[in-house]
Structure 1
């Protein structure tokens, strides 16, 4: 009887494998043709731009901030490209899915880091960095232990973490303008603009709209586009703040 049960279990597992493989193939068929290409094309450019930023950083502090900023961006865009471009087995898909979503929290904290190190000091700097990275760790735990959390819950968490910087805007403004009024205002505007672009991307992700061409360039591609434009905006801001100290 145990042998019959064992054989029955093996057949059931074989059927399950066939079903999951079929699901993977179906997902590949319905996935928009440009899914993942935006992040794939951007990753080498981010690496090149990051090397320039790190190498031209004038102090140890700016270099550390640049490393965190660039590394978190490479991690996000690189993993996203790998996850979205491939057609994976359910096991690998689950791992990459968790990494992809967890990296968003790391990226938000990594984006805060150079601005906090350069523009803030004292208690404000410590509170900003501790808040950002503690939130990132909690966000990672949330995604690891509840990977199936609904989209309507995930998007507001990303946006809320991103806009925690609102509490530090006066300190950011003071720190930025201390580098020079003109350059400081430009940096401050870039910080706010980048945050607004990330927010718009998060709303697109949450509402799944606009969805211009579901088979070619869907709402997810629009979301990815916003993340790249927002990253470029913050990259320019970090670069201006960094080079102002040269």
Structure 2
């Protein structure tokens, strides 16, 4: 995604390289996570891992193609796909935690799952609406979706303490911090090469969340 109307050629090359790496990482994650889920024999793990890995990879694919495009009309369309895919990335990341860690914690799992996916569907729909460009507002929405997990922090903490898997929570929080700190560079996008720096933080957040999800089984 981009906050400025135009970025320099060098910036776009850096954007493509950073999220191109994310695209390759996502493809690798699909294989690794599906192998782990299948070994576990847990159908909830298989389904939720698949949703997460596909949504994450889709986000990087759309971002890479958007930044690589040089055709104005095509770039505008890809921009909408890019922004919409971010909502799916966020909801996909929630899916393993809601369906594996929180599903047995009363209403928490399914309630959070429903809320986050309804928000994602609305976000995707809005991404394809003709609205004035307000990328900073969209970024705030992404952050709000990402950190709504705080309302379920107590049951998550209970689950991870009971199962002796606090490292899952540490990696989850670490990923959230990567995304949040990275947004500071996104807001500084008027300065050259801040957007690729933001991409590095996004990739760091994805790696942390991948590790956290991998450790769920």
Task: Give yes or no for TM over 0.5.
Answer: yes
Given that 1:113 and 1:129 are in contact with CA atoms closer than 8 Å, whether structure 2 keeps it comes out as yes
Change (3 A) 1:84 1:114: same
Change (3 A) 1:84 1:147: farther
Deviations 1:193-216 (A, max 9, x none): 11111112223213427x4xx2xx
Deviations 1:167-193 (A, max 9, x none): 01111111222322xxx2111111111
Q: Which of 167, 186, 189 lines up with 2:151 in the alignment?
A: 167
Given that 1:98 and 1:147 are in contact with CA atoms closer than 8 Å, whether structure 2 keeps it comes out as no
Change (3 A) 1:193 1:31: closer
Which structure 2 residues correspond to residues 112-191 of structure 1 after superposition, within 5 A? 112-121=94-103, 122-180=106-164, 184-191=165-172
Change (3 A) 1:131 1:103: same
Given that 2:147 and 2:176 are in contact with CA atoms closer than 8 Å, whether structure 1 keeps it comes out as yes
Q: Does 1:36 align with 2:16?
A: yes
Given that 2:22 and 2:57 are in contact with CA atoms closer than 8 Å, whether structure 1 keeps it comes out as no
Given that 1:43 and 1:78 are in contact with CA atoms closer than 8 Å, whether structure 2 keeps it comes out as yes
Change (3 A) 1:48 1:33: closer
Change (3 A) 1:32 1:81: closer
RMSD: 2.0
Question: Mind listing any 5+ residue stretches in structure 2 that lack a counterpart?
Answer: none
Name 1:109's counterpart in structure 2.
91
TM-score by structure 1 length? Answer: 0.79
Structure 2 Cα separation of the partners of residues 32 and 126 of structure 1? 40
Number of equivalenced pairs: 208
Given that 1:101 and 1:143 are in contact with CA atoms closer than 8 Å, whether structure 2 keeps it comes out as yes
Deviation at 1:118, TM superposition (A): 1.3
Q: Does 1:234 align with 2:209?
A: yes
Question: Mind listing any 5+ residue stretches in structure 1 that lack a counterpart?
Answer: 1-23
Higher gyration radius (CA): 1
Deviation at 1:120, TM superposition (A): 0.3
Runs (4 or more) in structure 1 with deviation over 2 Å come to 26-33, 146-149, 206-209
Structure 2 Cα separation of the partners of residues 70 and 228 of structure 1? 14
TM-score by structure 2 length? Answer: 0.88
Change (3 A) 1:27 1:124: closer
